[in-house]
């Protein structure tokens, strides 16, 4: 795996997070050290929003010569699976990042977390709650009204320790008791109104098995993990801003108890990715998969990283995208075209060119010798002549695009129509003489004559000035292949939201916005060089866009191609 090149600190783009880190370093906090972390929960597949976070956290570590930890917050055994762990590791590595020795799991710290919870009980900062979930909601209050103390809030330390140990021993069913932090039920921040920190879960954990039946809440575990791993800057999205006071309260309380030294980690929040034409809600992604609106988690239309990889999106494109959109404190929407343009920019440099005819009709050159074949030569990449040229066999019968012939041309049409001349790219100039039709009037073949002295690359080629330039594949040497034309999964920029210009409208089912044209499967005629394409090889199909050999369904000598993105943005109004 090749890691992305680190930017010199002074050359990397600045942002408010870097400014905060620079100030911490100026003050000498953590000795100038910078350590970040990427902490996914292993309960699903990563999506485009995670790519932004991954690039940010690993990128900050690279800029400052620090480390970024890969850590799995596996604190909910009812939703987590090893399958997700493996998929997340593969996705982060595919993006080009390496955590070295810093691979961690929350479950590595369960013993320490339990001991810290007992300490909080001992110093009067936690208690066992026996109210039901409904009763707790009633006691919690509202955003405008304070909560009230639970009748169990003043249990003695001895009783709380005994109950918590019995919870751990498995004596109680799920939901009977929870452990709560004791902070302030009248706090204006509802997250400080004695938040839950441990709950009973009789479920088998994917790493610890049945050893535990009490598990820490994410908001309790996450700060502790940061501190245990000596993370300096815990960078997360804005929805955790209201949780920062609890993050600080917990780490300060545990530092007072001698569990951590100061300074404790600093939480910094940034705006999450809001991208048009996709849904990034885990619930909605699960619904799309389970209800089979897509073909699985790696469907190229789904905004998962495994889907993006199968579609042909590149790690370089994602890293460029993250750099281009930057980070901010305020929510905003990024148009999907920005991500697609980042992919185009990289693929334009990286993808070799090939020829594919997606909607083929036969072209017959009536004055070309039957059975004769000659070689034409096409550059593998016009921007990189060092990649050389490849041979393209030329013959009497060729496949061309159906749209490249019109029996009755419209104004401004410069391709083939009776009496007009056009150049066959890398080959000869031809003059259209007519066409053949079937009994229903459908065009079955276009008829032309070629000019023998007009071959590209020869002196005679300059004698002919024509406006039309067509791509083609020789019938005798082409091969038919499955090509999948992927497009955006949703036809609305904001799936499920009110229609633009209709502020009084109601929220709609996001499934109603699925684009019925998001996938077309066709049989195309490809140039012979493409037969040897290996899975995940990327190409520009001239005139059509960028394509990738499918990593799942391609076979040796028989690749299947997915369209990654068109050459230009076709969604502009």
- Which helix (H) or strand (E) covers residue 539, if one does? strand 538-541
What average pLDDT does the segment 316-345 reach?
A: 96
pLDDT band for position 500 (50/70/90)? low
Count H helices and E strands in the chain, helices first.
Answer: 12, 25
Query: Where do we find the tokens 């597949």?
Result: 45
Marked catalytic residue, from 148, 272, 284, 389: 272
pLDDT band for position 2 (50/70/90)? very low
pTM: 0.92
Q: How far apart are CA 563 and CA 539, in angstroms?
A: 10
Q: Is the peptide bond before 263 cis (omega within 30 degrees of 0)?
A: yes
What does 227-290 look like in DSSP terms, one character per residue? Answer: HHTT-SEEEEEGGGGGGHHHHHHHHHHHHHTTSSPSSPPEEEEEPPP-BTT----HHHHHHHHH
Q: How far apart are CA 229 and CA 68, in angstroms?
A: 11
In CATH terms, the fold of domain 356-470 is Ribosomal Protein L25; Chain P (2.40.240)
Residue numbers in the known binding site for L-glutamine are 73, 218
Q: Are 481 and 524 in contact (CB under 8 A)?
A: yes
Collapsed DSSP state (helix, strand, coil) of residue 157? helix
Query: Where do we find the tokens 């990593």?
Result: 551
Which residues share a beta bridge with 485? 520
Which of these CATH numbers, 3.55.10.10, 3.40.50.620, 3.40.1280.10, 3.40.50.1820, describes 16-107+221-325? 3.40.50.620
What average pLDDT does the segment 137-141 reach?
A: 95
Whole-number pLDDT of residue 4: 45
Collapsed DSSP state (helix, strand, coil) of residue 436? strand
DSSP 8-state code for residue 490: B
Helices (H), 101-193: 110-122, 133-140, 157-169
What average pLDDT does the segment 384-403 reach?
A: 97
Whole-number pLDDT of residue 1: 40
Collapsed DSSP state (helix, strand, coil) of residue 192? helix
Whole-number pLDDT of residue 94: 98
Let me know if 282 is a catalytic residue.
yes
Helices 110-122, 218-228: axis angle to 10 degrees equals 110
What average pLDDT does the segment 438-461 reach?
A: 94
Q: How far apart are CA 485 and CA 8, in angstroms?
A: 40
Helices (H), 312-412: 315-325, 336-350
The rounded percent of the chain whose pLDDT value lies above 70 is 96
**CATH number, domain 110-219:** 3.90.800.10
- Which helix (H) or strand (E) covers residue 374, if one does? strand 374-379
Domain coordinates of the chain in residue numbers? 16-107+221-325, 110-219, 356-470
Other beta carbons within 10 angstroms of residue 364's beta carbon come to 16
The rounded percent of the chain whose pLDDT value lies above 90 is 93
Let me know if 41 is a catalytic residue.
yes
Q: pLDDT per residue over 412-449, tens digit each?
A: 999 999 999 999 999 999 999 999 999 999 999 999 99
Whole-number pLDDT of residue 6: 46
Cα–Cα nearest to 266, from 29, 70, 16, 51 = 29
What average pLDDT does the segment 299-308 reach?
A: 98
Whole-number pLDDT of residue 3: 45
Q: How far apart are CA 240 and CA 196, in angstroms?
A: 16
Residue numbers in the known binding site are 41-43, 73, 218, 237, 272-273, 280-282
Whole-number pLDDT of residue 11: 53
User: Is it the case that residue 195 has pLDDT exceeding 70?
Assistant: yes
- If phi over 0 gives left and psi between -120 and 50 gives alpha, with beta otherwise, what is residue 113? alpha
Marked catalytic residue, from 33, 41, 168, 425: 41
Whole-number pLDDT of residue 503: 55
Phi and psi at 339, nearest 5°, equal -65, -45
What average pLDDT does the segment 267-273 reach?
A: 96
pLDDT band for position 504 (50/70/90)? low
Marked catalytic residue, from 79, 137, 211, 282: 282
Q: How far apart are CA 521 and CA 150, in angstroms?
A: 61
Let me know if 310 is a catalytic residue.
no
Other beta carbons within 10 angstroms of residue 391's beta carbon come to 14
Whole-number pLDDT of residue 61: 97
pLDDT band for position 10 (50/70/90)? low
Residue 213 structure tokens: 């039946």
Residue numbers in the known binding site for ATP are 41-43, 237, 272-273, 280-282
Burial class (CB in 10 A: 0-12, 13-18, 19+), 239: exposed
Q: How far apart are CA 284 and CA 300, in angstroms?
A: 16
User: Is it the case that residue 282 has pLDDT exceeding 70?
Assistant: yes
pLDDT band for position 321 (50/70/90)? very high
Q: Are 430 and 477 in contact (CB under 8 A)?
A: no
């Amino acid at each position: 795996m090749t890691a992305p090149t680190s930017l010199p600190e002074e050359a990397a783009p600045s942002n408010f997070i870097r400014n905060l880190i620079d100030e911490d370093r100026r003050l000498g906090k953590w000795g100038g050290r910078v350590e970040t972390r990427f902490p996914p929960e292993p309960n699903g597949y990563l999506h485009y929003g995670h790519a932004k976070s991954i690039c940010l956290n690993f990128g900050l570590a690279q800029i400052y010569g620090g480390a970024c930890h890969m850590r799995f917050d596996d604190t909910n055994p009812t939703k987590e699976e090893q399958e997700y762990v493996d998929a997340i590791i593969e996705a982060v590595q595919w993006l080009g990042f390496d955590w070295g020795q810093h691979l961690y799991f929350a479950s590595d710290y369960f013993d320490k977390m339990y001991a810290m919870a007992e300490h909080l009980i001992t110093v009067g900062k936690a208690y066992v709650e026996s109210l039901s979930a409904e009763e707790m909601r009633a006691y919690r209050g509202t955003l405008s009204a304070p909560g009230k103390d639970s009748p169990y809030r003043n249990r003695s330390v001895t009783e709380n320790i005994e109950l918590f140990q019995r919870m751990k021993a498995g004596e109680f069913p799920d939901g009977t008791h929870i452990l709560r932090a004791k902070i302030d039920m009248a706090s204006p921040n509802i997250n400080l109104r004695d938040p839950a920190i441990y709950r009973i879960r009789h479920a088998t954990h994917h790493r610890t098995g049945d050893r535990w039946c009490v598990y820490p809440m994410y908001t309790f575990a996450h700060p502790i993990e940061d501190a245990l791993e000596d993370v300096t800057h815990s960078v997360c999205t804005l929805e955790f801003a209201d949780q920062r006071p609890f993050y600080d309260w917990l780490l300060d309380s545990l530092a007072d108890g001698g569990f951590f030294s100061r300074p404790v980690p600093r939480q910094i929040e940034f705006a999450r990715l809001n991208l048009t034409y996709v849904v990034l809600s885990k619930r909605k992604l699960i619904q799309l998969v389970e209800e089979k609106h897509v073909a699985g988690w790696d469907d190229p239309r789904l905004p998962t990283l495994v889907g993006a990889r199968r579609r042909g999106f590149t790690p370089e494109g994602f890293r460029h995208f993250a750099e281009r959109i930057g980070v901010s404190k305020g929510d905003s929407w990024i148009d999907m075209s920005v991500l697609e343009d980042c992919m185009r920019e990289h693929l334009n440099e990286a993808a070799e060119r090939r020829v594919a005819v997606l909607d083929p009709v036969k072209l017959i050159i009536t004055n070309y010798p039957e059975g004769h074949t000659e070689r034409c030569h096409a550059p593998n990449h016009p921007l990189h002549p060092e990649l050389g040229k490849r041979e393209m066999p030329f013959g009497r019968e060729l496949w061309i695009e159906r749209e490249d012939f019109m029996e009755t041309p419209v104004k401004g049409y410069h391709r083939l129509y009776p009496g007009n001349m056009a150049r066959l790219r890398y080959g000869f100039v031809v003059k259209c003489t007519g066409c053949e039709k079937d009994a229903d009037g459908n065009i079955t073949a276009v008829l032309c004559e070629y000019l023998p002295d007009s071959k590209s690359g020869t002196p005679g080629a300059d004698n002919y000035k024509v406006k039309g330039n067509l791509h083609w594949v020789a019938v005798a040497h082409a091969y038919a292949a499955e090509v999948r034309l992927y497009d955006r999964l949703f036809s609305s920029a904001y799936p499920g939201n009110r229609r633009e210009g209709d502020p009084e409208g109601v929220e709609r089912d996001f499934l109603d916005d699925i684009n019925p044209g998001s996938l077309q499967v066709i049989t195309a005629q490809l140039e012979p060089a493409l037969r040897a394409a290996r899975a995940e090889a990327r190409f520009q199909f001239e005139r059509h866009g960028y394509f990738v050999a499918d990593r799942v369904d391609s076979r040796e000598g028989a690749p299947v191609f997915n369209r990654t993105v068109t050459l230009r943005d076709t969604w502009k109004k």
